[in-house]
Structure 1
Amino acid sequence: MYALFEGERQIGSPFATEKEVWEAALIEGLVTDVPVADEEGGRLLPAGYHVQEVDEGARPSGG
């Protein structure tokens, strides 16, 4: 399971794949494009955000 984080705070629900997290971030307007495996590029997420693997029972923290 993977989730989007702002700093140490999980944002939203976890997804089965990292791709699904990127798609949700795209829908929410946090990114303008999803990463492509073979491309080297600049930062896609705003500063402070990252995608991280989480335990299957993980729930969003904070508000």
Structure 2
Amino acid sequence: MAYALFNDDKQIGPGLPSEPEVWKHALDDGLISDIPVADEAGGQVLPARYHVKEIKLEECCAPDPAWELPSEIS
């Protein structure tokens, strides 16, 4: 299995072996501006509409080259 970063239901990052690698790659590539941190309930506080999910290797695809980081994340 692999993991990838998604914006809503659109994959915006490559499939990688673990969630921490997905977040590091997204940070290194400028897709996110900060690594998510745990909130009081123990969950993650993610930028709006962003999430990491497990994908099957055959689902792994290249990110959409037309996708751009929003100028503001609320």
Query: Do the two structures share a fold, i.e. TM-score over 0.5?
Result: yes
SS at the partner of 2:52?
A: strand
- Stretches of structure 1 that go unaligned for 5 or more consecutive residues are none
Q: Secondary structure at the match of 2:13?
A: strand
Q: 1:11 to 1:62 in 2, by over 3 A?
A: closer
Higher relative contact order (CA 8 A, sep 6+): 1
TM superposition outliers: structure 1 runs of 4+ over 3 Å: 30-33
Identity %: 40
In the TM superposition, what is the alpha-carbon distance from 1:35 to its structure 2 partner? 4.1
Structure 2 Cα separation of the partners of residues 32 and 6 of structure 1: 14
- Which residue pairs with 2:39 in the alignment? 40
Q: Residue 19 of structure 1 corresponds to which residue in structure 2? A: 20
Q: Which has the larger radius of gyration?
A: 2
Aligned residues: 60
CA contact (8 A) 1:32 1:44 kept: no
Change (3 A) 1:13 1:43: same
Asked if the contact 1:9/1:61 (under 8 Å) is kept, the reply is no
Partner of 1:30: 31
TM-score by length of 1: 0.69
